[in-house]
Structure 1
Amino acid sequence: MRLIQKLLPASKMKLVISGIGVLALLVFSGFVLFEATKAEVVFADNGKEQTVMTHTNTVEDLLEELGITVGKHDAISHEMDTPIEHGMSVEFDAAKEVTVSIDGEEETYYTTAETVDDFFTEANFSFTEQDEISHNTTEATEDGLHIEVLTAYEVTINDGGKEKRIWTTGGTVEDLLNKAEVRYDRKGEDKIEPALDEEITKADEISIVRVSEEEEVITETLAYDTEKREDHSLLKGNEKVISEGKEGTVKKIYKIIKENNKEVKRELVKEDITESVNEVVAIGTKEEQPEPNLVTVASKKSNASAESSSNNSGSKSITMTASAFTAGCSGCSGMTATGINLKANPNMKVIAVDPNVIPLGTRVWVEGYGEAVAGDTGGHIKGNRIDLHVPTKSDAYSWGVKTVQVKVID
């Protein structure tokens, strides 16, 4: 400045200073005018707002001025060629890269959604409450987010024949049974397939066979034998029980294994035996009289015929006491005094008589019994007493002891 002052006269110096001041004023005025003509724009960058004063003409120019490059998946509130206006608001959201893994299958997405739930809606994802999602749907999205989803599926549990279905996203058989609150024998008695430590798959069905153990007691009877002994004091053909027989018992204790309440195995673990006691029967061998021959029988028959001729009905009628017997008793031989095998002929009408009253071989009619033959004797059959042969013990008990009319036929 001093150099200029030396070179220029004072008058000219004043003119220079005035020119500089005018120029400065012009520059300042131009600057003020330049600033005053800028448009005020509110710019939101991923939700963060700032006020920008700009002379740019379009949104694209504004973004370039701000150093922002719009990517393929980014969101901008206006078209790039939209003119800039004073007071306008421009929103820009940069897309975030989100990786989604569904049952192990990964895919990458780009989104401007604010929350995971908004992202799912944007990507048309639909999940159920049984599905397992790694992030809460209310969480904010961020670049590089990795979401893992395990979709649920139903598994059938066949519990002893009763089916139960439960949703799962995987895990072991043991995990699923615990989730379903299914109790089982942890000692390993119940049969579970697949095994507890195996991983569940969509194709699996869990089968539980309930195994139980029970004890059963069965008592069986042992029949007694009949022991026969000859008795020379007892008339031949007669029998007498000396001592009653007694049945024995077999007590068997079984261990029974059941699967789903059905018996699959039976094991005899203990057996207690009470021996039977034999019945002892005396068999008569004493001969009462010799076997009548045909002449004797014929003679007695003619006498009986002569006596019956005096009866109005043309036959002899005798009032007698009648009991009943059967050849089907245990130890009975079934052979009569006249050689008739009653066991071979259980329905044959034969009566035991006192030969002094009704001769052996005589055909008779017995009230309530019908026609019969006098074919046997007995130690207690004396006088007007007869014993009727019937097929069974129950028949003998039913007959009991009766007073009957007996008619000699021949």
Structure 2
Amino acid sequence: MTDILDELQWRGLLAQSTDIATLRAAMAEGPITYYCGFDPTAASLHHGHLVQLVVMRHLQLAGHNPIALVGGATGMIGDPRMSGERVLNDKDTIAGWTDRLRGQISTFLDFDGPHAAQMVNNLDWTGRLTAIDFLRDVGKHFRLGTMLAKDTVARRLASEEGISFTEFSYQILQGMDFLELYRRHGCTLQTGGNDQWGNLLAGVDLIHKAEGGSVHVLTTPLITKSDGTKFGKSEGGAIWLDGEMFSPYAFYQFWLNTDDADVVRYLKVFTFRTREQIEELAEAVAARPQAREAQRILAEDVTTLVHGADATDRVRRASQALFGRDDLRELDAVTLRDAVAELPTGEAVVGEATMVDLLLATGLEGGRSAARRTIASGGAYLNNEKIEDEDRVLATGDVLDGGYVLLRKGRRNLAVVAAVGSAG
């Protein structure tokens, strides 16, 4: 079980630790209990949380006992940000988001067997605590100088906006979570992102002062691109793990578009491929970069991890179908909608619009003469079938599920027509 620390190090999933040698010795003695916290500050987890879920999964597979904490209490406060004070969400919203996050987290961990995961909500112990008890039993162990020295707090204090007492108190609440899990479940390890280092240490110090116990912290590094820029933003914002907020198709495409310089590192971080498998994929990237074999494996593995094998199969078939390598008519309406969501879109009336009209409506061609030349040269396709007659009119039978018609110019230029007046 000690090998897991070396494994996490090789995968680039370890940034800082309170005492890695002591933790290694504790793991050698038998399973330890560890936890990671997730605050319901949105309706879904995102790619950043995925790193923590992968770490939790690795530790469980290595024979340790996970606790996933959803912060129904800390979510009402909000972890201080560099960018300024958070907007406080109402309690009903937070309760709903808490349930959604619990559902998402549950798919990553095994809740049966000898190392079964547990799911907890810190509102269960924080909600019953009076202000006086909080100050006497917990607050007395925190020193103001230490709290003020934390990087985020110090920067916010130096800003024009400052920091509220509410957000300033967040580190106490997080420290109390570790203490409570230490007392209830014998939890001795907390994991989290490296930006949480100060908050994580609050729990270590609190347990030492309140119980005389010794516990551990592991953090993961900030995942960046090879050029040093931030990883994980799409044009629409965060890479959400909820399929309704960020479709499985868009999720798959996000990973498929990974740069060659980043793909091997991401395979280590986000998949459970073995060292031998990843080394083989690294060789493939170097020898046959145009094949993008590593990117396909990355996209399939991470999409399966988050959305399941069935969703991965649907989006893979959709990707192939868009470029003529599979049957568009076998795609369900939702998958097809997601697949064409980012394509240029035009509108056409069934029974009236000609093939030339479709090329103009979608912007694939800028004029009728150019559209006719494209069709005449065999470069225009309707639902992946070559258009032979420029005067052919769009028919009801051309319309796919959801009311779409796919148009392609050449090999790579795609657009979608929203059919008006169709039965689809």
The structure with the larger Rg is: 1
State TM-score, norm by structure 1. Answer: 0.19
TM-score (norm 2): 0.19
Which fold has the larger relative contact order, with Cα–Cα distance below 8 Å and residues 6 or more apart in sequence?
2
More helix by share: 2
Structure with the higher fraction of residues in strand conformation: 1
